[in-house]
Amino acid sequence: MPISAASDAPLTGAIAGADIARFRADWVALAGEVPGPASMIGLAVSGGGDSLALLLLAAAAFPDAVIAATVDHGLRPESAEEAAEVGALCTRIGVPHEVLRPPPESFARGNVQDRARAARYRCLADWAAAAGARWVAIAHQQDDLAESFLMRARRGAGLSGLAAMLPARRLGPERGAALLVRPLLAWSRAELAACVAAAGIVPVEDPSNSHPRYDRSRMRALLAATPELPAARLARAAGNLRDAETALGWVVDREWRARAELAESAALLDMAGLPRELVRRLAARAIASLGSGAPPRGSGLDRLIAAVDAGEVATLSGVVVRPGQRWHFAPAPPRRSR
């Protein structure tokens, strides 16, 4: 269903003052400052209900400090029309808008959803840099946290997987890259839908959001049918785990500085007396620093640790690990071609 807004729809004028004040306070708590013409917020607006609520709230809270973009991957026949409708709505609100189209070859192979997501963030990073936006805000909200928590718990995820998504992170490695921020993590889907309805807007409905084929859709249906699993409490649990993950990361950094000896193409790590989770994280960091750059996770890492604990040499992600008083990590020799 396309976006629908009558010509006399109230738009930002219908947003409750309490909601505007709440969004403004949430933003300042997250970003540490009020945006302005010299420090703009870039909004990623798809046309769905959550992103339209983000547009309305941000435009009402910080007029003249907001720009918007819609990333059109061209994966659905309706996407170009929906992007144009978002642009028309932004014009009515007074928010500059651009449509970004990543090249199809950037997400045509492999897991299309994952590659399309990566392409979307690259587009948004480039757009923010060109437009001078200090932040790029996306519309993840409380129910998203709860759904992600259930999806990952069902798969047996550990602490890192169960922890809530970060409220802010850099969009790229470059110095000065925009911050990707999620200012709606304390808002429920119902609260955001009420903002959009009050403005007289009918958002885009993505049919995949209710298709039982997708994990997230099934978790959404489960939450709706199970009042004993309130999304707000699951989201709070995920946030508590994020705090624990952050604290554990601080401990890992400290132990790495104290226990790691690095050479040009090797690392020595003293694992004596460490809890198993710290062993896992330090080993993963050492392997990532010498191998593919991505920290290994899951059962492969557990098997490697068990082997080294048993006095065996083990290999993972192109790195050989040898046991001893200190574990020795080095790149595996290249395989001989037959």
Mean pLDDT of 123-135: 95
- Looking at per-residue pLDDT, the higher value among 109 and 320 belongs to 320
Structure confidence at residue 39 as a pLDDT band (50, 70, 90): very high
The CA distance from 235 to 143, in Å, is: 7
- Residue 92, helix vs strand vs coil: helix
Look at residue 2 and tell me whether its pLDDT is greater than 60: no
- Residue 176, helix vs strand vs coil: coil
46 is annotated as contributing to ligand binding: yes
Share of the chain above pLDDT 70, in %: 94
The CA distance from 298 to 157, in Å, is: 9
47 is annotated as contributing to ligand binding: yes
Q: What class, spelled out in words, does domain 11-141+165-208 have in CATH?
A: alpha beta
32 is annotated as contributing to ligand binding: no
pLDDT at 336: 67
pLDDT at 13: 86
Structure confidence at residue 160 as a pLDDT band (50, 70, 90): very high
49 is annotated as contributing to ligand binding: yes
Listed in sequence order, the residues at least 6 apart from 270 whose beta carbon sits closer than 8 Å to its beta carbon are 259, 325, 326
Map tokens 């708590």 to a residue.
Answer: 29
pLDDT at 42: 98
| DSSP code, position 186 | T
298 is annotated as contributing to ligand binding: no
Mean pLDDT of 313-324: 96
Q: What is the pTM of this model?
A: 0.88
Q: CB of 191 within 8 A of CB of 197?
A: no
318 is annotated as contributing to ligand binding: no
Look at residue 284 and tell me whether its pLDDT is greater than 70: yes
